């Protein structure tokens, strides 16, 4: 029952992000774009390793998947699965984003009030500027990476976590985690001297 509600929640979050994004101005422009992140650093760097360890720890505490058990052996299996999923995700996301000229950086809003900034951080999960024009577009790279990795990772998951539903739920969780990271990036105190990227607001 809990797992069913979790899957429903992940799908609902994904649909909500799409709905919010579709209400924004698809052609609003950002300031000059930053250099794009490195595939190697984002996939194999310290931040990636930390994320894998944290997610493996959460899975260990929650006992999911149950077939992998506990102890060192269970943690190693969860960490290995998480790292493999992360590699698959980035190996889909980066080439697709490059081919479609999608910006993979997060750009903070220039709004000062909480509501618009929160909406901006959530919308940025599924909408992103194009590196060629600055016009906003659907983030096909990020979405295909999340759901592609979720589905492919079913190949090595135990019986309780296999199936299309589990794959799509994993993709929704991945996008939800990205949305959470965007919120943190948006509201994390700015370093001294830094300025927000001017992003003209879409229609209210």
pLDDT digits (tens, 9 = 90+) for 65-80: 999 999 999 999 999 9
pLDDT tens digit string along 164-177?
Answer: 999 999 999 999 99
**Residue 30, in any domain of the structure:** yes
d(CA 89, CA 164): 17
Domain-embedded: residue 177: yes
Domain interval for residue 114: 2-187
From the centroid of its chain, how far is CA 124? 10
Provide the domain count of the chain.
1
Q: Could you tell me the pLDDT band of residue 1, with boundaries at 50, 70 and 90?
A: very low
Asked if the structure places residue 195 within a domain, the reply is no
| 107 domain-assigned | yes
Q: Is residue 194 part of a domain?
A: no
Q: Is residue 198 part of a domain?
A: no
Global pTM reads 0.78
Assess if residue 200 is contained within a domain: no
């Amino acid at each position: 029952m809990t797992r069913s509600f979790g899957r429903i929640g992940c799908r609902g979050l994904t649909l909500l992000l799409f709905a919010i994004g579709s209400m924004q101005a698809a052609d609003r422009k950002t300031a000059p774009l930053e250099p794009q992140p490195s595939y190697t650093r984002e996939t194999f760097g310290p931040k990636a390793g930390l994320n894998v360890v944290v997610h493996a720890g959460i899975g260990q505490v929650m006992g999911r998947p149950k077939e992998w058990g506990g102890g060192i052996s269970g943690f190693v299996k969860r960490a290995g699965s998480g790292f493999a999923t992360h590699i698959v995700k980035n190996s889909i996301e980066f080439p697709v984003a490059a081919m479609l000229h999608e910006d993979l950086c997060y750009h903070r809003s220039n709004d000062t009030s909480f509501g618009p900034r929160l909406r901006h951080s959530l919308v940025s999960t599924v909408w992103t500027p194009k590196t060629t024009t600055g016009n906003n577009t659907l983030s096909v790279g990020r979405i295909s990476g999340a759901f592609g990795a979720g589905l492919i990772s079913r190949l090595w998951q135990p019986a309780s976590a296999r199936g299309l539903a589990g794959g799509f739920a994993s993709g929704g969780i991945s996008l939800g985690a990205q949305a959470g990271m965007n919120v943190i990036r948006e509201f994390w105190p700015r370093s001294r001297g830094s300025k927000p990227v001017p992003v003209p607001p879409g229609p209210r």
